[in-house]
Amino acid sequence: MFLWIWGSNSKEVDLGFVESKVCANCEKTRPFKLILQYCYSHFFFIFGWLTSKKYLLLCEECQHGESVDSNQIEATLDRHPIPFMRRYGWTFLFAYLVGLLLFAIFFWKPE
């Protein structure tokens, strides 16, 4: 039963071709693509938060490559590739719990 409430998952997002350069593994000029790998945890599949993320520049032939600075990459993107509720869903859960607490403090009157 508890597994339906709490969980975690990982996703990989292909952000497309970036450049052609010499691959250290293939030793040939190959196209490289940008990949985002991220892990997240969730509560009721709605309220999520990131546990890790990394951007990789990978050779399209052999899938070997290197990590890239996430701040540098995110500055060049039009929109964030990770869905909002997977990044900041926990804030809605927090706001809901604070709302319940405030309601209990101000409006609940035990008889």
Structural domain containing residue 20: 2-107
Q: Which pLDDT score, from 0 to 100, does residue 68 have?
A: 92
Residues, the chain, total? 111
Q: What is the pLDDT of residues 15-54, one digit of tens each?
A: 999 889 899 898 889 999 999 999 999 988 888 999 999 9
Q: Is the pTM of this model over 0.85?
A: no
Number of folded domains in the chain? 1
C-alpha separations of 3 from 41, 42, 43, 88, 90 in Å: 12, 11, 10, 21, 18
| SS3 call for 60 | coil
Report which of 84, 76, 68 is spatially closest to residue 34, judged by C-alpha positions.
68
Q: What is the pLDDT of residues 54-89, one digit of tens each?
A: 999 999 999 899 999 999 898 888 889 999 999 999
